[in-house]
């Protein structure tokens, strides 16, 4: 038996059009990986505005795209789009299905990753806004074993979303470390949607045969843990030895010990075989026992930010941009603005690389440079004070300026601090619950 899993989402806001190709190709599971640490902070701001939010609001688009295959029994959906409010996400999906007269769909919601109820035991700060542990595959497997067709989770580790269907289908044991590691490796390769299939590729990206028709990946998994990474034949993109190995090392600290709630995977043990025709086979993945703790993410308020962006043209573009920033910082000092932190960037000169950018050759000047100045203050009112000082640059600052002004319409933005924490597995597992509803 071969289990085919489609990587249908790589982040909140990812395109959903390529999902149609996955469904047309035929996948047993459509996995939607919606979360990143930044995403959780975005969802927290949503929940602060409206307590019924806190989940990825593009989830209904994916459910609508796949509902025909779900009803036909050909595809099940697994996602962590529940974010920091999986119950609300589950309600939104159920209500959406009922509103369209769709019945008979089993929707499961996994809760328990929120560790704020354990704040005293874990020593969480009093001003904690959210605190969530990265769960593994176990509760998703439970939901699938109970017949769920749509499984909505909160903060489940990315690769575990893909591992769960494999454990459910193949019956892999909880200590079958090599096969679990293979599933995690497959999940890691598929979790970033189009990235393993030629998107965001740092090699010969121009060789993509159809860049206007993005490809999302398919993993074809066998019971022994071997699998093939491929893509829908009708899509663009490309799956090669190089695109797969690039994704393999993406966001990996130690490839010999990739930590996951279900297993520690050794990515240096595996073998990649390019079979041609957009098919790369992965075999030989080795694993070790899972970590004794879960990773958790704790979010606290961190003040308010303001920022200014101004673009200057040749000649002397960088010198003008730096002069503008010096002027603004001088004005901040003159008006007594209490900035706790400053940050400068010069796009066109060193915006992405900072001090690592090599010195330009003698006589060379960038055609234009955009200065970005950002600052952090304790309150929104304090962060907004410098905005009133920006306009003078238009006619009294360096020449040839464009785009002077505050970003975000002049409104300060709340900053959130994210810190990692190791928490005992047993403390989290005791509160994990799978809630299932039949629409």
The tokens for 361 are 């050759």
Residue 9: φ, ψ to 5°: -160, 140
DSSP line for 319-350 = HHHHHHHHHHHHHHHHTT---SEEEEEEETTT
pLDDT for 279 equals: 98
Q: What domains are defined for the chain?
A: 3-122+130-291 (no CATH), 298-418 (3.30.70)
pLDDT for 388 equals: 87
Q: ∠ CA 215-217-218 to the nearest 5 degrees?
A: 135
pLDDT for 355 equals: 87
Q: ∠ CA 49-55-61 to the nearest 5 degrees?
A: 115
Per-residue pLDDT of the chain (439 residues; tens, 9 = 90+): 999 999 999 999 999 999 999 999 999 999 999 999 999 999 999 999 999 999 999 999 999 999 999 999 999 999 999 999 999 999 999 999 999 999 999 999 999 999 999 999 999 999 999 999 999 999 999 999 999 999 999 999 999 999 999 999 999 999 999 999 999 999 999 999 999 999 999 999 999 999 999 999 999 999 999 999 999 999 999 999 999 999 999 999 999 999 999 999 999 999 999 999 999 999 999 999 999 999 999 999 999 999 999 999 999 999 999 999 999 999 999 999 999 999 999 999 998 888 898 888 988 999 999 999 999 999 999 999 998 899 999 999 999 888 765 555 568 999 999 999 999 999 999 999 999 988 8
pLDDT for 198 equals: 96
pLDDT for 363 equals: 86
DSSP line for 83-112 = TT-HHHHHHHHHHHHHHTT--S-EEEEEE-
Reduced to 3 states (helix: H, G, I; strand: E, B; else coil), residue 289 is: coil
pLDDT for 359 equals: 86
pLDDT for 406 equals: 54
pTM of the model as a whole: 0.94
Q: Whole-angstrom Cα distance, residue 187 to residue 280?
A: 15
The tokens for 260 are 């996951």
């Amino acid at each position: 038996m071969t289990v085919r899993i489609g990587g249908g989402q790589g982040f909140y806001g990812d395109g959903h059009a390529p999902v149609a190709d996955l469904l047309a190709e035929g996948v047993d599971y459509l996995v939607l990986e919606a979360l990143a640490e930044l995403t959780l902070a975005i969802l927290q701001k949503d929940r602060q505005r409206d307590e019924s939010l806190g989940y990825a609001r593009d989830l209904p688009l994916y459910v609508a795209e796949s509902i025909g295959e779900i009803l036909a029994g050909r595809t099940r959906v697994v996602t962590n789009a529940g974010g920091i409010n999986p119950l609300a996400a589950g309600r939104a999906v159920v209500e959406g299905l009922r509103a369209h007269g769709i019945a008979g769909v089993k929707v499961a919601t996994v809760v328990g990753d929120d560790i704020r109820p354990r704040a005293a035991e874990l020593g969480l700060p009093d001003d904690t806004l959210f605190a969530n542990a990265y769960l593994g595959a176990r509760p998703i497997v439970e939901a699938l074993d109970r017949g769920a067709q749509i499984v909505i989770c909160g903060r489940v580790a990315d690769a575990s979303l893909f591992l769960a269907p494999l454990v459910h289908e193949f019956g892999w044991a909880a200590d079958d470390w090599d096969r679990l590691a293979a599933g995690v490796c497959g999940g890691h390769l598929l979790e970033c949607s189009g990235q393993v299939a030629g998107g965001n590729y740092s090699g010969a990206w121009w060789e993509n045969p159809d860049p206007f028709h993005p490809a999302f990946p398919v993993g074809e998994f066998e019971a022994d843990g071997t699998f093939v990474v491929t893509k829908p034949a009708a899509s663009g993109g490309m799956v090669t030895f190089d695109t797969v190995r690039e994704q393999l090392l993406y966001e990996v600290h130690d490839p010999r010990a990739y930590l996951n709630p279900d297993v520690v995977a050794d990515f240096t043990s595996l073998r990649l075989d390019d079979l041609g025709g957009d098919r790369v086979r992965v075999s030989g993945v080795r694993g070790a026992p899972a970590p004794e703790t879960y990773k958790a993410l704790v979010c606290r308020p961190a003040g308010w930010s303001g920022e200014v962006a101004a673009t200057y043209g040749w000649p002397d573009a960088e010198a003008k941009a730096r002069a503008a920033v010096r002027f603004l910082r001088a004005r901040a000092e003159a008006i007594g603005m209490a900035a706790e932190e400053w940050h400068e960037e010069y796009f066109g000169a060193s915006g992405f690389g900072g001090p690592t950018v090599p010195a330009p050759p003698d006589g060379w000047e960038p055609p234009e440079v955009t200065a970005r100045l950002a600052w952090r203050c304790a309150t929104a009112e304090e962060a907004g004070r410098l905005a009133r000082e920006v306009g003078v640059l238009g006619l009294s600052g360096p020449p040839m300026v464009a785009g002077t002004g505050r970003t975000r319409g002049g409104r300060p933005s709340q900053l959130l601090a994210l810190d990692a924490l190791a928490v005992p597995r047993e403390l989290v597992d005791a509160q994990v619950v799978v809630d299932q509803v039949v629409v």
